[in-house]
Amino acid sequence: MPHKKRKPLVAVLDWKTAPSSNSGVDLETKVLGKSARVKYFLTDNESNFSPEILKADALIIWQNANITENTISRLKNCRALIRNGVGYDSVDIDAAARAGIPVCNVPDYGTEEVADHAIALSLALTRQLFALDAEAKKPGWKLVAKDKLRRTSTLTFGVIGLGRIGTATALRAKTLGFQVIFHDPYLPNGTEKAVGIVRTDSLTQLLKQSDVVSIHCPLNEETYYLIAEKELALMKPTAYLVNTARGGIVKKKAVLSALRKGVIAGAGLDVIENEPLKTKAEARTPNLIATCHAAFCSREGMIEMRTTSARIAKQAVQGKPLENVVNGL
């Protein structure tokens, strides 16, 4: 009797502590069609990956699911590791390359959403929206926050990292009247002329000049703790820090301390090192606006991201060239 051919499996891995997907794999199943089975797994970490996950032909990975060399060495049939999002720092891409497994991401799905979120946090800080909301809900309006309100056209908006999202944020800030500067040592000269903003010679210069510092670079060995005690001390005491990129770029202990001591005026953090916030004391930090790693979210963006990930998984199980490969395979 002939051996029945095994149907490929695409495993969608979500974070058990705070699942990113609340709709299972209906969309992924529709995109993949008859090419593969699709199954949804909740997991806290790679140490409890089931044998079924380890035998999957492609993994679609939501945030906070780390894939290290130990796990990669145990993947039996994997043809692609696909990060459901822009960042792929949770995957050991070098180990995957050595194992011959392409790592892919979805770099374009949330550009508008993250840029909008960065601007929203910036305006919430410079216009003191949360402080004004609290005042308005008390008997009698004293407008205590009025001395902290700023005129946008007098402020310098500094962008760290001028990729897709950084550029989208810079253009939005420029439209609102901010004076926009940026630092990105990897972009060729002349980029600033194409976008119509000002390039700074160094990160130090940007930090000293900016009234709002908005982070849009990837997290890697070079950018880990890019903003820590030394860098925060360079900022104006009236300046604000916004991070919608990756938590590890900003040292949590340093920024919370800077807020408590008044080293900077405030921070808007959508991403936080070792997120979420761990204690009531952290949550009560003054002049901190925190959102729950939600900058990328929108109904349209989630559909776009999941569709792209599923399309790459389909390419993988069908042996076709893959989109958005980040580890050189």
| Active-site position among 293, 300, 311, 323 | 293
Note if 164 is an active site residue: no
Note if 127 is an active site residue: no
What's the per-residue H, E or C state across the chain? CCCCCCCCEEEEEEECCCCCCCCCCHHHHHHHHHHCEEEEEEECCHHHCCHHHHCCCEEEECCCCCECHHHHCCCCCCCCEEECCCCCCCECHHHHHHCCCCEECCCCCCHHHHHHHHHHHHHHHHCCHHHHHHHHCCCCCCCHHHHHCCCHHHCEEEEECCCHHHHHHHHHHHHHCCEEEEECCCCCCCHHHHHCCEECCCHHHHHHHCCEEEECCCCCCCCCCCECHHHHHHCCCCCEEEECCCHHHECHHHHHHHHHHCCCCEEEECCCCCCCCCCHHHHCCCCEEECCCCCCCCHHHHHHHHHHHHHHHHHHHCCCCCCCECCCC
| Active-site position among 246, 282, 284, 306 | 246
Note if 216 is an active site residue: no
Supply the residues annotated as catalytic.
Answer: 246, 275, 293
